[in-house]
Amino acid sequence: MKKYLLIMFLGFGIWFSASAQYYYGVKGGIGLNMQKWNTFERDILFTPLIDLYTETHDDPINKLYASLGFHTRGSAIRGFGFQSFNSYRFNNLSLELGFKQMLSVSKKYNPYYMLAGRLEYTVSTNLSSGGAQFSVRNLVDDNFVNKINYGLTIGGGFEFNWDDTKVIFVEASINPDASKQYDQPSTAVITNPNPTTFNPSPTITIFPQEVRNVSLELKVGIKFLRGYWEEDEEY
């Protein structure tokens, strides 16, 4: 799958460089992040996100788009007390390249759907900075984090044409990873350096962890037609 993603990214780059007109803009919102671990049941982790965005303009119905942004993946453990909140955070740079089809272009609100490939690089995590506050603190390790991950983005939204050069849009997407964000083999951890009759075992065995990211993202954005500011300056 990595090979096909790289070929697709190269094709998109050639397409955009040859395009006469395109949109550029920004979009941001919130991510509802989920992971499945073997150790504890995980809850949704809510995180902000932001993307720089560009999109072809030659065909009003079928479009290609690209975005580059900062997304935090992960999951949470919530206890009963106010302080019993624990999160696992993977701070990722996310490159998304995909296809977008408009279902209408002449209405006040024009719906669309999209499908994209996604490539992410993990810049940092909170695994070694006390992010795990309970007995799971020693059960995770940055050494088992995969820095490069990939997956799909499937979603849709609505566009509102502010004027001939500006478009506001809202969209929702689901973003499953095909690769593993965290991949830890079976590991023995020393918990009792001085075994006794009542607690004879000095170690515990941690089961293998194969963790993939899945997130639901809700975004609001604005895009501008290339040449808008230049045209304003002519007048």
| pLDDT per position as a tens digit, 34-66 | 998 877 778 999 999 999 999 998 888 999 999
HSE of 182 in the Cβ direction (CA atoms, 13 Å)?
Answer: 24
Phi/psi at 226 (5° precision): -60, 135
pLDDT of residue 224: 95
Supply the pLDDT for residue 195. 61
CB 67 within 8 A of CB 175: no
The CA distance from 4 to 67, in Å, is 18
pLDDT at 231 over 60: no
173 vs 69, 107, 154, 214, CA distance in Å? 15, 22, 5, 11
Model confidence at 76: pLDDT above 70: yes
Q: Is residue 19 classed as helix, strand or coil in its secondary structure? A: coil
* Whether the predicted pLDDT of 197 surpasses 80: no
pLDDT at site 99 = 95
Q: Quick one: fold of 2-234?
A: Porin (2.40.160)
Structure letter (DSSP) for residue 207? P
The residue ranking higher by pLDDT, 141 or 222, is: 222
Reduced to 3 states (helix: H, G, I; strand: E, B; else coil), residue 9 is helix
Handedness of CA 98, 102, 105, 107 (dihedral sign): negative
User: 């701070």: which residue's tokens?
Assistant: 91
CB 74 within 8 A of CB 35: yes
Q: Specify the pTM.
A: 0.80
- Give the mean model confidence (pLDDT) for residues 95-112: 94
